[in-house]
């Protein structure tokens, strides 16, 4: 087949999704495997959200509300900002794509940490722009190094807070100092996918910057703490002028009916959200204690996942854990060849992880 594909598209490294659990079980000859690799909510979704989506199924013959009126109004009330400052997306991934299409031209530069969420790089490359990578410093964002990479071609800076995959945070004090070094026409995107899990009072929560004179964008999602990963719904908070630009490139029905209904109900169910946060934080402490008993090093987190130093090839540990029916994430592709990342699961899942991990590491 003869196709004329731009070089910048051919250069994209595709996002590599994990295999279905059923397929992994077939390949490795295991049953009843558990998945602690994707930072999902182990408690599932709010019962209120499930009920709302069930009700919305009766109208699936109708197109979704193209504006997402009710969800947008709820978010506006929660964050005390005009509804015109909010853009809904098919997951926050889609909003990343809207931003890059709206802001970047071929040859422009976008700065991002390394490692980071792969979709930043993919969306930047898909516009013919250039991703500029700045390594983390001792697992934290290195603002000084980012500032030194800013050039006249820089149009966007991507940050995530808490940082994935390290679980570290950006402090408000650190961000305020950094903001003073950034030209006012550069869009700063702060991806707060795990912000609901934070405990540190010094952690930046960037919503307050979204309605000012600087082009600051906050991305949030219902996929993690709210347990709605399967219906793909996220949102961006940003100055009204920038939101208006994104609406020019947004598909008209990008947030589906079930997603809008489920997200509205999830926002109203504050009790379930707090139950999730308390549960995850408690299970992280349980996992930390188990890793300490094994005499191994781990990195405390402000998210719902954490990293462990396995002191050997992380891919080999990943494979060995799969054969025990426990799915975790190797950090080799993130530039951490000795680290694995584990999501806090249900107690019985965490107990099984610790038992399998001890066996794989030769600790029993």
203-219 pLDDT per residue, tens: 999 999 999 899 999 99
Query: How far is residue 210 from each of residues 71, 78, 108, 130, 313, measured CA to CA in Å?
Result: 18, 14, 23, 25, 42
β-strand partners of 153: none
* 263 and 351 part of one domain: no
Question: Which two structure tokens, joined as six digits, stand for 3?
Answer: 């196709």
Q: How far apart are CA 194 and CA 344, in angstroms?
A: 13
Residue ending a domain, choose from 243, 268, 293: 268
244-250: list long-range contacts, CB under 8 Å, 24+ apart.
244/84, 245/102, 246/87, 246/95, 246/98, 246/99, 246/102, 247/87, 248/102, 249/98, 249/101, 249/102, 250/87, 250/89, 250/98
Examine the domain organization and report whether 288 and 245 are in the same domain: no
The stretch 230-259 carries a mean pLDDT of 97
| pLDDT (average), residues 102-116 | 97
- As a whole number of Å, the end-to-end CA separation of the chain is 55
Asked if pLDDT for residue 161 goes beyond 80, the answer is: yes
Q: How many CB atoms lie within 10 A of CB 225?
A: 25
Judge if 152 and 264 occupy the same domain: yes
Residue span of the structural domain in which 282 resides: 19-44+271-360
Q: What is the pLDDT of residues 9-26, one digit of tens each?
A: 888 877 777 667 887 778
Q: Looking at the structure, do residues 131 and 218 belong to the same domain, yes or no?
A: yes
> Per the domain annotation, does 353 fall within a domain?
yes
7 pLDDT higher than 90: no
pLDDT tops 80 at residue 1: no
Alpha carbon distance 86, 334 (integer Å): 31
Least confident range of 20-29, 41-50, 187-196: 20-29
Name the pLDDT band for 105 (thresholds 50, 70, 90): very high
d(CA 234, CA 68): 12
CB 138 within 8 A of CB 116: no
Query: Please, which pLDDT band fits residue 363 given cuts at 50, 70 and 90?
Result: confident
pLDDT of residue 13: 78
Are 168 and 139 contacting, i.e. CB atoms less than 8 angstroms apart?
Answer: yes
* CA atoms of 341 and 194, how far apart (whole Å): 15
How much is the pLDDT for 186? 98
User: What are the Cα distances from residue 113, in Å, to 36, 97, 117, 142, 319?
Assistant: 24, 18, 9, 8, 28
Choosing from 268, 303, 328, the residue where a domain stops is 268
Within 13 Å and on the Cβ side, how many CA atoms surround 165?
Answer: 24
Q: What pLDDT is attached to residue 53?
A: 98
Q: Tell how far CA 258 is from the center of its chain.
A: 21
The reply to whether 23 falls in a domain is: yes
pLDDT at 134: 98
d(CA 198, CA 194) in angstroms, rounded, equals 8
Q: Beta-carbon neighbour count of residue 38 at 10 Å?
A: 15
**pLDDT tens per residue, range 305-316:** 999 999 999 999
Do the beta carbons of residue 231 and residue 257 sit within 8 Å? Answer: no
Which CA distances in Å does 156 have to 177, 186, 337? 18, 5, 29
Please state which of the ranges 30-34, 112-116, 308-312 shows the lowest mean pLDDT: 30-34
CATH number assigned to the domain comprising residue 291 = 3.90.1150.10
pLDDT at 242: 97
CATH number at residue 179: 3.40.640.10
pLDDT-derived band at 174, boundaries 50, 70, 90: very high
Enter the pTM of the model: 0.95
Same domain, 219 and 330: no
Q: Which of 11-15, 244-248, 344-348 has the lowest mean pLDDT?
A: 11-15
Q: Are 9 and 302 in contact (CB under 8 A)?
A: no
d(CA 294, CA 8): 46
- Do you find a cis peptide bond into 165, omega within 30 degrees of 0? yes
Residue 294's contacts (CB-CB under 8 Å, 6 or more residues apart) are: 354, 357, 358, 361, 363
- Tell me: do 52 and 98 sit in the same domain: yes
Q: Domain count of the chain?
A: 2
**Half-sphere exposure in the Cβ direction for 83 (13 Å, CA):** 9
* Per-residue model confidence as pLDDT tens digits over 325-337: 999 999 999 999 9
Distance CA 298, CA 301 (A): 9
- What is the layout of strands, in order, in the sheet containing 187-191? 86-89, 234-237, 216-221, 187-191, 154-160, 109-114, 130-135
Q: Is residue 4 part of a domain?
A: no
Confidence class of residue 159 from pLDDT cuts 50, 70 and 90? very high
Give the pLDDT mean for 158-174: 97
Q: Where are the alpha helices (DSSP H) in 163-313?
A: 172-179, 240-249, 257-268, 270-293
54 and 87 together in one domain:
yes
Same domain as 240, residue 283: no
């Amino acid at each position: 087949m003869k196709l004329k594909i731009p070089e910048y598209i051919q250069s994209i490294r595709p996002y590599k999704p994990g295999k279905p659990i059923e397929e992994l079980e077939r390949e490795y000859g295991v049953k009843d495997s558990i998945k602690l690799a994707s930072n999902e909510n182990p408690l599932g979704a709010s019962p209120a959200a499930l009920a709302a989506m069930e009700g919305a199924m009766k109208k699936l013959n109708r197109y979704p509300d193209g504006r997402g009126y009710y969800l947008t109004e709820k978010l506006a009330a929660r964050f005390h900002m005009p509804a015109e400052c909010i853009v809904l997306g098919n997951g926050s991934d889609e909003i990343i794509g809207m931003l890059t299409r709206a802001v970047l031209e071929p040859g422009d530069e976008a700065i991002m940490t390394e490692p980071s969420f792969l979709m930043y790089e993919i969306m930047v490359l898909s516009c013919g722009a250039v991703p500029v990578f700045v390594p983390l410093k001792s697992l934290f964002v290195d603002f000084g190094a980012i500032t030194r990479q800013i050039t006249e071609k820089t149009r966007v800076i991507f940050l995530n807070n808490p940082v994935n995959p390290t679980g570290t945070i950006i402090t408000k004090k650190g961000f305020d100092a950094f903001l003073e070094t950034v030209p006012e026409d550069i869009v700063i995107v702060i991806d707060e996918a795990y912000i609901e899990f934070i405990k540190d009072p010094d952690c930046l929560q960037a919503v307050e910057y979204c309605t000012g004179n600087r082009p600051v964008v906050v991305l949030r999602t219902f996929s993690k703490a709210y347990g709605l990963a399967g219906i793909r719904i996220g949102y961006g908070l940003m100055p009204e002028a920038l939101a208006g630009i994104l609406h020019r490139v947004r598909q008209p029905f990008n947030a589906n009916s079930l997603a809008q209904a489920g997200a509205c109900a999830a926002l109203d169910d504050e009790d379930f959200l707090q139950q999730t946060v308390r549960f995850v934080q408690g299970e992280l402490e349980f996992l930390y204690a188990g890793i300490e008993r094994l005499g191994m090093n781990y990195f405390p987190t402000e998210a719902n996942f954490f990293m462990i130093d396995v002191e050997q090839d992380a891919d080999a540990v990943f494979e060995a854990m799969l054969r025990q029916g426990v799915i975790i994430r190797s950090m080799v592709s993130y530039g951490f060849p000795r680290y694995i990342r584990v999501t806090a699961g249900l107690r019985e899942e965490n107990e099984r992880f610790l038992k399998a991990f001890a066996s794989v590491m030769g600790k029993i």
